[in-house]
Amino acid sequence: MNNTIVITGVGKRLGFALASALLKEGYHVVGTYRTQYPSLADLKELGADLYPVDFYQQNQVDDFISQLADKYKSLRAIVHNASDWSSDHNPHLSAAEVMHRMMTVHASVPYQINLALQDKLCENGHADIIHIGDYVAEKGSKKHIAYAASKAAMNNLTLSFASLLAPNVKVNTISPALLKFNPHDDAAYKDKALSKALLPREAGFDEVIEGVKLLLNSRFMTGRNLQFDGGRHLR
């Protein structure tokens, strides 16, 4: 069985951790990155094929899709992890630009990749598309309205593509809340974030990695959304 998995956004945090874990398990990872990070050298050493792609440049998206179609006979899975997180009051972008960027990276590019590569997945007979969503898609956000809306659009892609590509391709979403704090997050922010959940702690990247493995191993789950949110919905 072909073991090539495409993962978008592998330069840091969850994308890097997921790519590393799957490489060590014997999968052939094809990853994208927008910014050159030192960590990418570690993925290359493990055998990853890496492509610099700015998802806000349509010509680069088109070129990446073309390279995938030409270079890889079939794909075991596509994991849409690439993400951007912009406030609705970004001083450098208009409201229209913020919405366009959020919808581009979280909905438009996954939509294009799924459509273009569906035949590569169907050749497998057991293949997956996994969208990495966000808990906020169901709750909304007063400060990140465009981001939340774009993640909700991603959730809807899961439903549509699950119907379109069954029975050979399973399509699911994983929606985490707090995974890991950033180094610059201060104590007040951390306390506020932790207080939102019944389980007041960081989930860690391994939580999502295990969720990805569960979906890859499953033969009977599609069109679903795995919620790793620490019980926020009960607060």
- Helix/strand/coil for 123: coil
Contacts of 99 (CB under 8 A, 6+ apart): 146, 149, 150
- Non-local CB neighbours of 10 within 8 Å, separated by 6+ positions: 16, 18, 19, 29, 31, 32, 33, 40, 43, 48, 50, 81
Alpha helices in the chain (DSSP H): 13-24, 40-45, 58-71, 95-103, 109-122, 136-139, 145-165, 187-194, 205-217
* CB-based burial, 62-74: b 16+ in 10 Å, e otherwise: eebbeebeeebeb
**DSSP code of 220?**
S
Q: Residues 27, 33, 135, 147: which is the catalytic one?
A: 147
Residue 75: closest CA among 113, 108, 47: 113
* Known catalytic residue at 147: yes
- The set of catalytic residues is 147
